[in-house]
Chains A and B, each alone.
Chain A
Amino acid sequence: MTFSIGLTINRQHHAITLDDPRVTLLDLVRERLHLTGTKKGCDRGQCGACTMLVDGRRINACLALALSHDGAEVLTIEGVADGDTLHPVQQAFIAHDGFQCGFCTPGQIMSAIGLIAEGQAGDDPERVREGMSGNLCRCGAYKGITEAVCTAQRAMAAGELA
């Protein structure tokens, strides 16, 4: 049995036929659409490496069945920059050394974009740390990550006012 679904991924519509209902959103974007920026870490919802925005909300793509998200709008790390201009969160991660090996970074950045959109943490480092607690960084770049999220939040808030 095959299943046909439609997904808008990084503002581009995809008509997708699946021959297996077990495919997760993570495996769909990586293995079928070859968008490999989203990483597979634990594959069990514990590490946050697979974080993407689905209908504007950050979720663990490894625990999301693709079939169940028929019609959704998905944003992955490949879709956040505007051409050659990096997203403010990407810029802030570079400015603050918010990574070392980089494996968790796409998930960290997507999670940070989601956190800022949720509007609950502001630039309070303690609230940002708690708000980023679903993303593990085995290199331990948390200090730079927290600074980057706070900086990006302020930059984006100022941009909205401008």
Chain B
Amino acid sequence: MFEVTQKPIELILARNLMSSLSTPAFLVDQGGMLIFYNEAAGTLLGKRFEEIGTVGPAEWGSIFGPFDESGNPVPYDELPLVISVRKGRPAHSVMTIRSADGATHRIEASAFPILTAHGSRGAIAVFWPVDGNGVPVEGNGAGA
């Protein structure tokens, strides 16, 4: 029988698009595995995707924190990406993430599911840095 290891075309196209964006963007598959983030996200986190590679749902949240406004860890189930991939709907939140050098960044995260005629393929999230007043940083946020 044919062994299928290839990514679905919707994820391939999503990665191609994300690779061209200067907005930090993350891609998870339908099982919640983090399978890609772009250069802008790597800049924000202080680590390129190639340094981390594909990681499971329990691990990728811890890569960048995240924390709520009170500094408490955001429960895994409340992360926008997790909500999108599990419930098949968009999700949004404001949170603080921590990059590899220990610096923290306030961001808005928006996630949406990738749904097809054959069901869910995964989800995409974009991170948008906000300033100290909670206002989105103008431009694309890359390098924030």
A binds B: no
